[in-house]
A and B are shown apart, each in its own frame.
Chain A
Amino acid sequence: MTHTRASRLPLYCFIAFSALMWSIPAEAHLNSTGMGPFYDGLMHFIMSPEDIIPVLALALLAGLRGATYGRRALFVLPMAWLLGALAGLTSLATHAYPFIAAGWFLLLGGLVAADAKLSLRITTGLATLLGLYHGYLNGIGMGQSLSVMIVLLGLVFAIFVVVALVSAFVVQLRASWARIAIRVGGSWIAASGLLMLGWAIRTR
């Protein structure tokens, strides 16, 4: 006697289909999560070479000096940037100072190229000044929209991540050629600053 068992496939399909029909909206998109401005801030920083390159230079400088310096830059720079941006929000006038931007490139790039043995206090001061100045410029450009705090959060988050990754990468470098490569990178930043200075004088 042959016994034929009914296939359970239709039942499984029905259960799967029912489960799919019960699924709730994921709301994973930026317009439903409200995270759009966060990514605006994050991308603004990543896509702005005048912001990201001095931050990279500071992270390289801190990384060359060691973990303590890296940790200090990691927390001081984003906080100063945030404070500067908050101050900038209250300002209405927008002024671009290309000389100062070139100066940051020259100073930080030059310090990395020279592998300058700065004290922790001076490094902290540099991080504070850089954060306050660039944050202030960012804040001026943001206007008075309601989502500005989320934008700032994204921006500060991006700075934190970039400093953490870059300085941690440099701290663990032991080979002399690798540290020299970092210094060569610093010299490129300083050289770019010199050219920017020329541009600034030319277009003044």
Chain B
Amino acid sequence: MPHRKQILARWLGELIIISLWSQNAFAHPQKGEAVGFLTGFRHPISGLDHVLAMVAVGLWGAQLGSPAIWLLPVAFPMVMAFGGMLGLVGVPLPGAEYGIALSAIMLGAAVLFEIRPPLTIAAILVGFFAIFHGHAHGTELPAGQSALLYSIGFVIATGCLHAVGIGIGTVHRWGWGQKVLRAAGGLVTLGGFFFLWRAVA
């Protein structure tokens, strides 16, 4: 009967031989393709100032209820993409960083005080701030990426952030949830003030 060590050695030998026979997996993304998607997807998530504002849009939409719950998250990516296009083609937008910080302050305050303006006003407010976010993204775009996949990743990530806000906002149906939601709005406002202070400094 072979010794246990011999058996182990034989198994290891077979394992090494099998490992060396392995073929190329071709499991990596093509250059400039999925790289573009992942870079685009990461871009809105990588900055807390953007995250705060986008989540706040979802929170506010959930607070306002239908049809704002879906209209605001539709308006924001559309207008943000327009801002991104302006940034890409080189149209200057002064004070973009202030605009981004102000967006967190204003949208957070809207959630904090549960402001209920007419739908058009809410959409215009959200759209106005979306231009600053989009412009900042457009001007920061890295070179050598796949434009199409970058754009898709970018928009999907933005939509997901809104969805996170809407998801959190579903607690609005409960009394305690309304307080939690307003507290979250307060946090977003505080974050906005921090980014405004940093932009000024």
Contacts and interface: CB of A to CB of B under 8 A. Distances in A.
A16 B73 CA distance: 65
Nearest to B74: A187
B74 A198 contact: no
A49 B155 CA distance: 14
Contacts of B150: 195, 199
Contacts of B159: 184, 188
Nearest to B137: A195
A198 B88 contact: yes
Given A184-B159, A202-B89, A194 B70 contact: no
Given A192-B151, A192-B155, A200-B147, 13 more contacts: A53-B152, A113-B78, A184-B73, A188-B152, A188-B159, A191-B80, A191-B158, A192-B152, A192-B154, A194-B82, A196-B151, A199-B151, A201-B89
Nearest to A184: B74
Contacts of A50: 148
Interface in B85-129: 85-90
Contacts of A196: 147-148, 151
A194 B81 contact: yes
Contact count band on B = 20 to 34
5 contacts: A190-B81, A191-B80, A195-B138, A198-B85, A201-B89
A60 interface: no
Interface of B: 70, 73-74, 77-78, 80-82, 84-90, 138, 147-152, 154-156, 158-159
Nearest to B145: A199
Contacts of A191: 77-78, 80-81, 151, 155, 158
A180 interface: yes
Given A192-B155, A199-B147, A187 B77 contact: yes
A36 interface: no
Nearest to A50: B148
A181 to B, nearest CB: 8
